Amino acid sequence: MFSNDTQHELQLRRISSGGDTVDMERGTSFSGSFREVSQSEFDELRETEDTFDEEEQQRQQRLQKEKKLNFCKVLLLLFIQGAMFIPLQTGLLITLRFSFGNYIRGWWGWFMMQILSFFICLILFMPIIALVSGKLSLSSRRDGQAMDTLKFYLINLVVMNFLLSFAAPSESMFPTAMTSTKLTELPACQESLQEAKMFFRSMDERYHGDLIDFDVVNVVYGGLPKWLKWLGSDYSATAMVVDNTVHYYKNECPSTVTLVHELWHVWQVQDGEMFEEGGVGFWKWLLQQMNERSGMYTYEIKGDGTQNNPWSRFRQFNWEQQATIVEDAYWRWKGTAWGCDDDDRTDTLTYPCELQDPYRIIHQALY
């Protein structure tokens, strides 16, 4: 029994008329009008408290299950990303990049095409993603769906740029120093690059035009050539050009003739030659690299090798044949014919120098 005027320092539970309960912490001073709590009311209060504890325990168990389920969903989404989504998106990304290469270049072009390819693949994979997320039908939680899509995109953005930092570090949003080393600062590379510049500038003077913008050219140790060589792949390449960057497979400067060859690929990018056939041109080049790699670099005095077209124009040669012709022009500029005037030439140290004047056929293409 509690007195009306006595202050108590007890933990009490007051039952309001609405049935709600209010906990009073032990040690809290209060005064007021209280009545005697009957045993039945006390038992009812204990029963209500036990029910509340059970509901709270069930709620905690549901939260644990939801966390585990969400973790499994994340793992499944990552599997979809790695096993199905990323390969398809990579192929689509490259196709779009070569299709729009004349309009959007550099890392910004890769970033824009990554967004476009992501949402195209997202539409294609939507049923699978919806199945994983348990949302086969339209859900009222549109804000939740938008958040899931945003999370999926951010994961995709990180994964794609991580892969790009290894394949073509100059085009990744990640710092290039993570996976590549700049070679243009090496003294030996500066000499080779300077000689290559002199050769191309001699062509500029001969034909009165600027062939290559060297201010944006970079030479780095990294990219696919580095990792393919490290893995011992049969399709390893000495060097590769992406946009204005030459990626080399060794942590040393390429030879001058290699630089000349690769710098012509830079010209093909800057001129737009490499993007004329869009994505089809790239996939055709890749299939040739895999099936008839050696034949891609040789050319004959008949031009494209057919008797009906003995003097093919320069742009009718493939990308690698063009670069080989420019190599031969470099050797002639150096005063080394490499036996080009010898009909019985058996020299195999360089690619065939069938054209009597490589300058002439290059001039046909440029002016």
Q: pLDDT by residue (tens digit) across 249-260? A: 888 888 899 999
Kindly state whether residues 335 and 253 are assigned to the same domain.
yes
Kindly state whether residues 201 and 313 are assigned to the same domain.
yes
Kindly state whether residues 186 and 304 are assigned to the same domain.
yes
Q: Is residue 153 within 8 Å of 193, Cβ to Cβ?
A: no
DSSP string, 328-364: HHHHHHTT--TTTT-TT----SS-----S-HHHHHHH
Q: Is the pLDDT of residue 266 over 90?
A: yes
- 353-358 mean pLDDT: 47
Kindly state whether residue 26 falls inside one of the protein's structural domains.
no
Kindly state whether residue 159 falls inside one of the protein's structural domains.
yes
Kindly state whether residues 154 and 216 are assigned to the same domain.
no
Residue 326 is predicted with a pLDDT of 86
pLDDT band for 149, please (50, 70, 90 cuts). Answer: confident
Mean pLDDT (the chain) is 72
d(CA 265, CA 181): 21
- 31-38 mean pLDDT: 51
Residue 315 is predicted with a pLDDT of 74
Encoded amino acid at 86, one letter: I
Kindly state whether residues 93 and 114 are assigned to the same domain.
yes
Of 156 and 125, more confident: 156
Q: Pick from 123, 143, 178: which residue ends a domain?
A: 178
Kindly state whether residue 143 falls inside one of the protein's structural domains.
yes
Q: What are phi and psi of 14, to 5 degrees?
A: -90, 130
246 forms beta bridges with 219, 241
Q: Is 59 helix (H, G, I), strand (E, B) or coil?
A: helix
In the structure encoding, which two tokens stand for residue 182, read together?
């700049």
Q: Is the pLDDT of residue 8 over 80?
A: no
Q: Is the pLDDT of residue 127 over 50?
A: yes
- 216-225 mean pLDDT: 86
Kindly state whether residues 285 and 187 are assigned to the same domain.
yes
- Give the chain's domain count: 2
Q: Pick from 178, 197, 215: which residue ends a domain?
A: 178
Residue 96 is predicted with a pLDDT of 92
Kindly state whether residues 82 and 149 are assigned to the same domain.
yes
Kindly state whether residues 100 and 187 are assigned to the same domain.
no
Kindly state whether residues 189 and 168 are assigned to the same domain.
no
Q: Pick from 149, 178, 207: which residue ends a domain?
A: 178
Kindly state whether residues 332 and 189 are assigned to the same domain.
yes
Query: What percent of the chain clears pLDDT 90, i.e. is strictly above it?
Result: 7
Give the lowest-confidence range in 8-22, 85-99, 262-276. 8-22
Domain that holds residue 265: 181-366
Residue 75 is predicted with a pLDDT of 72
Kindly state whether residues 222 and 313 are assigned to the same domain.
yes
pLDDT band for 146, please (50, 70, 90 cuts). Answer: confident
Kindly state whether residue 42 falls inside one of the protein's structural domains.
no
Q: Is the pLDDT of residue 15 over 60?
A: no
- What's the CA dihedral at 120, 123, 125, 131 to 10 degrees? 160
Kindly state whether residues 108 and 217 are assigned to the same domain.
no
Q: Is the pLDDT of residue 198 over 60?
A: yes
Kindly state whether residue 50 falls inside one of the protein's structural domains.
no
Kindly state whether residue 18 falls inside one of the protein's structural domains.
no
Of 298 and 110, more confident: 110
Encoded amino acid at 311, one letter: W
Kindly state whether residue 231 falls inside one of the protein's structural domains.
yes
Residue 235 is predicted with a pLDDT of 57
Of 259 and 104, more confident: 259
Q: Is 93 helix (H, G, I), strand (E, B) or coil?
A: helix
- 164-187 mean pLDDT: 80
d(CA 297, CA 324): 6
**What is the model's pTM?**
0.68
Close Cβ partners of 27 (under 8 Å, ≥ 6 residues apart): 9
d(CA 251, CA 13): 77
Nearest to 21 by CA among 11, 30, 31: 11
